[in-house]
Each structure stands twice: as C-alpha cells, then as structure tokens.
Structure 1
Amino acid sequence: MNVLLKSATVVDSKSEFHNKTVDILIEKGVISKISKRISNPKNYKELKLDNLHVSVGWFDSSVSFGEPGYEERETIANGLKTAALSGFTAVALNPNTYPVIDSNADISFLLAKSAKHSVDVCPVGALTKHSDGASLAELYDMHQAGAVAFMDYQKPVSNPNLLKIALQYSCSFDGLICSFPQESSISGNGVMNEHITSTKLGLKGNPAMAEELQVARDLFILEYTGGRLHIPTISTAKSVDLIRKAKSQKLNVSCSVAIHNLLLTDDVLDGFDTKYKVLPPLR
C-alpha cells in the first residue's frame, strides 16, 4: 500500500509530532516520512479529509465475539476484521462463549484462530470453571498458554474467599485478576440506576451502593493478599475515589469505564428506549 496522507493531525503523546498537522507518506504499508509538506512525484494515492487525525492503534479491553459456540453472533475472523477497520490493533477477548474459555486448550484455540490476522488477540480466561463462581479454573495453565487476565464476564466474585485465593495464587506468575463490581444481593433484579428517574418510570433500581460495596470489599482483600486486580466498567464517582485512594497506597489496581457511562445519564431512559439498558446502568 502506497498512500500520502495530507494535513493529518498526529495524536501520539510520545511523538515529536504530537498535535501537529503534517503530511505522512506510507510506502509498502510502512510510514517512510513525516513532514510539514511532502510532494508526490510518484503519483501515489492522496488522502485529504477535513479534520483528519492519525493516532497509534487502539486497544479494546473488553470484546465479546461468539466463537466458539455462538458463531451466529460473531466469528473471530469477522470480529477482528471489524476491529481493524475501526482502528484497533489489539483486543482483549472475553471468555463468554460456549464452552466458556476456562482451559489452556481453549486459550490455544483462540490464539490459533487469530494468528494470521493484523489485530492481536489478548485472550481473557475464565476465573472459575464454567464461570459458575464455584472453584478456580486452570489459571496457571491458561497463563502459560497466553491468557492475559482472568474474569467471569459480567459476573461478580460473590465468594470473597475465592477472590482472596485467586489473588494469592496469581502472585506466583504475576497474573491479572478481574472482578466485576456488583454486589448482587443489593443490585437484585434492578434494570436501571436507582434514582428519581427509576421511581418516576416505575422500574426496579440498581443502586450505586451495589457497585461501591463490591469495589471497597475487593480493595480490602487486595490490600491483604497483594497481587494485581482490575475492576472493569465502574460507573460511580465513589468507585473512582476508592480506587484513587487504593492507588495512592501503592495497591496494584486498575479500572476501566464504558464510554456510555462517561457520556450519558439515566435521564435518557425517560422514553423507555431499551438500547440504554446497560450493565452497569447509566447513573
């Protein structure tokens, strides 16, 4: 591929061209020159668009395809093609397939299926066998096969002792344990944030406290065990405060947030539009 990008703004904090508008010459698929102005003597294809930006490849930390078991939902090949067209160069693939990704053979299958694609797959193994929350899966074996983390997708670790053991065990190979932030006994069957809007609409609420209690519990366990903990898709300011405090105490914890929880509030549910029914709920 030979192409000349004209007047592109670079978004890369580690680059000397960060936030600068430049021309970028790509020859045989490799960037060969970046400069304020580049001529085109070889008559390469030129791409000039309004508000054109160029960045390093993106990483999606939570992707759910369907293969194996739910290929009608999405195959690995199609999912990776979509990721590439969307600017992603790596994705973390959740274990919510059928069967659940809970063994080294399952991890090897995912890596083999994606080996020749331009997008890197970072497989996430299930934390417990069959993701049923009862007993730990083969964490070390999956780690050896290439798993980058372990979680039961959108399922909280209800048993605190199980989380304690997982964190202690994973210390031996620097594994990353993920814990979905929801105390199910409090969230119950809530379908949206418990707030004035849920009362007005007559819908069961999922209170912010259900998330914050789980985050506080998990951080308390992490302080005791050590290890690496990731808390995915937090949605409340209190959760942010708890994690910030834990990081200030040198605990090895990270977190993520879904983009819709950054941009929307539960006010958009006034029209009962089910596309806004998400987990964790809009607050």
Structure 2
Amino acid sequence: MNARITQATLLDGSNPHHGKQVDIRIEKGIITEIASTLEAKKNEDLINFENLSVSPGWFDSSVSIGEPGYEERETIKNGLLVAAKSGFTGIALNPNCYPVPDTSSSIAFLQNKAANNAVQLYPIGALTQKSEGVDLAELYDMQQAGAIAFGDYQHAIKNPNLLKIALQYTQGFNGLVLSFPQEDDLIIKGMANEGETAIKLGLKGMPALAEHLQIARDLYILEYTGGKLHIPTISTAQSVALIKDAKAKGLDVTCSVAITNLFFTDAALEDFDTRYKVTPPLRNEADREALVAGIKDGTIDMVTSDHNPLDIEQKKLEFDHAKFGTIAQEATLGALLTLVSEKKAVQLLTAGRKRFTQTTSKIEVGQPANLSLFTTKGSNTFTKEMILSKSKNAAFLGAKLKGKVYGIIANKQFIAS
C-alpha cells in the first residue's frame, strides 16, 4: 500500500517525534518519510482524520475466538476484523477452541487459517495436554511451529510440580509460561466476588484469597526455578502487592489486567445481568482502585480486553448457569482513556508485544508500517451498533467512554473502523 498520513500526533515514547504533529509516508507497506509536512505524491492514498493520533500497533494479550470447534461464537476471519477495527494489530489467541491446540500441527493450523490478514494472530499453546492439567503438552514443538507462550486458559495449574517442571523446561528455549491466578478448591461453584454484593444477591462467593494463594505459590516456585512467568488478568489489591514485591526481588514475572476489572465493580451484578459474569470476577471498589494504581505505577504491565465471545445460548440463562466471559475489544481504548492519560494508554496497549513475541513495533523510516490510528478526543456511549463481534455478550453496553479508534495499518493493509 502507498499512503500519506497527515496531521497526526505521534505517540511513541521512544521516538524523537513523540507528542508532535507529523505527516507519515508509507510506500509498499514501509515507512519512508516522517516530517512536519510532506508533499503529496501520485498514486498514494490520503489518510486524514479529525484529531488523529498514531502509535505503534497495539497488542492484545488475551483473546478468545472459537474457531475451530465453536464457530458459532466467532470465526477467525471475523475475529481478526474485530481486532483491527478495535485498533489492535496483533493478538495472542487463547487455547480454548476445540480441539485444544496442544500440538505443533494445531498451532500451524491456526497460523495458516489467519494468514494474510492485517492483524497478526499469535497462538498461545496449551500448557498441558487437552488443558486437563495432568501432563505437559508438546511445548518445544509448538514453539517451533509458532506458539508464543503456554497456558491453559482460565484453568489453574493445580499441581505445583507441573508448574515447576514447565518453568525449568521452557528455559531451554526462552519460553513464556502462563498461570491463571485461581485456587480452584476455594471457589467451588462460586459465581461472584465474595463480599457484600454476593451476600445480598444470594450468590456463592469467589474469595480474593483464591487468587492470592495461587499467585503467592506460583511466585515462590518461580523464585526457586527461574524462567519466565506471566500471570494473566489479576483482579485484587493484594495481587498487585504480591507482584510488586516479586519484581523488586528481580523475578522475571509480568501480569495483565482485564479492562472489565479496571472499569466495573461487583455492584454491576445487582440486576443479575450475566454480561457481567466474568472470571476473575468483578471485585469491590478498593480492589478496582488498586488495579488502576497498579497500571499507573507500572506494577501491572499491560491491559487486555480478555475478549471472550459467547453465543446467546450460553449467556442468556439464569445467572448460576451462564458461562463466564464478555466481549470487550471494541470498548478497550474508550474505557482505558477514562482512567489514564493517552501516553499511558498507548504504553499499556503496546507492552504485550515485547513480552509475548520478543519483538517491538517502531515508527521509524525503513520499518514496516504497524500502526494504530485513533483519537483521544470526544466521548460516547457504547451501544449495540458498536458491537463488531459475532457474539453480543458485551459488558460495556451503556458505558460512557472516551476517544475513538479510526483503524490500523499493518501487513500492507489499511483497515478503517
């Protein structure tokens, strides 16, 4: 593609043009010029939006799609289009399709299915065979086929020896291990955060202690073994404190938080709306405030949509019977901008790429154009018309958001929102 982006505020802390309004020329998908103004050339598209900002392409570290096995929830083709129109140029795909991707051939299938899209799909391989938590899967073979990390999506690693072996084994090829922060024996049949709201509504509780015990155990194991650990979607103040202490010790650990846990509290459950039934559960206001503080001080490395499309048969049920999960990619930028500055938002939306793929996206002459286009100005209310996913289980319906995504440029393609 050949294009000229005009009057864009460049948001990239490592770039000398950071914070300045520039024009960017792209030829055959490569950035060829960056200047305060550029003259038009023949046969190039003009990209110009009101109050336009440009940053390195965003990366979403926790995305579920469905295909193969659950195409009624979401297909890979549409899932990648949703990501593009939500501003993401790369996604880490959770291993919760069917069959579970626990072999090199299943990883290769996912990559081949997603080939030639603007958004790059990076598969996460299952840590254990069929994500059953018993035997390790083919980790090295999957890494050679393109898996960027290993974890069982929203399944805790019950056996501590299994985590120990995984952290030791993956050091041989610089692998990243994911451990979901939940001690299952403490949340049997739990539906919501253990606390005042759950008691009031008569819902079985999911204590914060279940998250704290799992994280504390995992960090002790990491300190013993070494290796690289990522703890996805933490949700409590004590979890932030535990990870902060671990980082101070020099442990190679990162963590993420889901945008829903940053934005909502368990008070949203008062009407038994299953759109707010997520895991980890929405916590209280003190926990939410601690999570916001954690993203601001750098303890929490990245924000994820934790986008999980579920069809109506799985969500429009009695609260006890509905599945956990919400779609959130379409609202991630708008929700995040209500909590942090535009500079911090970009940092939180781009940090996952380096951790998961060991690469970075730079806005420099000679580099492939991998850009997210958006505005931080204005506000809006999230409506049904803004849902791009095949599934409609959106917790953010009716939420007041800021800014707007204009699209992405990646893999020699411009996808407009």
Q: Which of the five TM-score ranges fits, normalised by the shorter chain?
A: over 0.9
Offset, 1:143: 1.5
1:46-97 deviation line (CA, Å, top 9, x unaligned):
5544332111111011111122212222222222222223222211111111
CA distance in 2, matches of 1:105, 1:217: 33
CA distance in 1, matches of 2:137, 2:29: 41
Offset, 1:194: 0.9
Q: Which residue of 1 aligns with 2:10?
A: 10
Does the C-alpha gap of structure 1 residues 31 and 144 become closer, same or farther in structure 2, counting only changes over 3 Å? closer
CA distance in 1, matches of 2:185, 2:12: 44
2:18 counterpart letter in structure 1: H
Q: Which one has more relative contact order, counting CA pairs under 8 Å at least 6 apart?
A: 2
Q: How does 1:63-82 map to 2 (within 5 A)?
A: 63-82=63-82
Q: Which residue of 2 aligns with 1:117?
A: 117
Q: How does 1:47-58 map to 2 (within 5 A)?
A: 47-58=47-58
Offset, 1:252: 1.0
Does the C-alpha gap of structure 1 residues 171 and 23 become closer, same or farther in structure 2, counting only changes over 3 Å? closer
Offset, 1:44: 6.3
Say if 2:232 is the partner of 1:265. no
Q: Which residue of 1 aligns with 2:223?
A: 223
Q: Which residue of 1 aligns with 2:150?
A: 150
1:140 counterpart letter in structure 2: Y
Identity %: 60
Offset, 1:260: 1.2
Offset, 1:185: 0.9
After TM superposition, the structure 1 stretch with the greater mean CA deviation from structure 2, 92-101 or 261-270, is 261-270
State the SS of the aligned residue for 1:164.
helix
Say if 2:32 is the partner of 1:22. no
TM (norm. structure 2) is: 0.64
1:177-221 deviation line (CA, Å, top 9, x unaligned):
110000111122111111111111221111111101100010011
State the SS of the aligned residue for 1:96.
coil
Q: Which residue of 1 aligns with 2:160?
A: 160
CA distance in 2, matches of 1:106, 1:44: 39
Does the C-alpha gap of structure 1 residues 27 and 143 become closer, same or farther in structure 2, counting only changes over 3 Å? closer
Offset, 1:39: 5.1
1:101-120 deviation line (CA, Å, top 9, x unaligned):
00111111112222322322
CA distance in 1, matches of 2:119, 2:89: 5
After TM superposition, the structure 1 stretch with the greater mean CA deviation from structure 2, 178-187 or 82-91, is 82-91
Contact 2:235 2:282 in 1 (8 A): yes
Contact 2:22 2:35 in 1 (8 A): yes
Does the C-alpha gap of structure 1 residues 113 and 44 become closer, same or farther in structure 2, counting only changes over 3 Å? closer
Q: Which residue of 1 aligns with 2:169?
A: 169
Q: How does 1:194-209 map to 2 (within 5 A)?
A: 194-209=194-209
2:228 counterpart letter in structure 1: R
Does the C-alpha gap of structure 1 residues 27 and 227 become closer, same or farther in structure 2, counting only changes over 3 Å? closer
Does the C-alpha gap of structure 1 residues 51 and 138 become closer, same or farther in structure 2, counting only changes over 3 Å? same
Q: Which residue of 1 aligns with 2:253?
A: 253
2:197 counterpart letter in structure 1: T
Contact 2:96 2:153 in 1 (8 A): yes
Offset, 1:251: 1.0
In structure 1, list runs of 5 or more residues that go unmatched: none
State the SS of the aligned residue for 2:122.
strand
CA distance in 1, matches of 2:210, 2:248: 24
State the SS of the aligned residue for 2:92.
strand
After TM superposition, the structure 1 stretch with the greater mean CA deviation from structure 2, 62-71 or 101-110, is 62-71
Q: Greater CA radius of gyration, 1 or 2?
A: 1
CA distance in 2, matches of 1:79, 1:31: 27
TM (norm. structure 1) is: 0.92
Offset, 1:8: 2.2
Contact 2:2 2:43 in 1 (8 A): no
Does the C-alpha gap of structure 1 residues 199 and 71 become closer, same or farther in structure 2, counting only changes over 3 Å? same
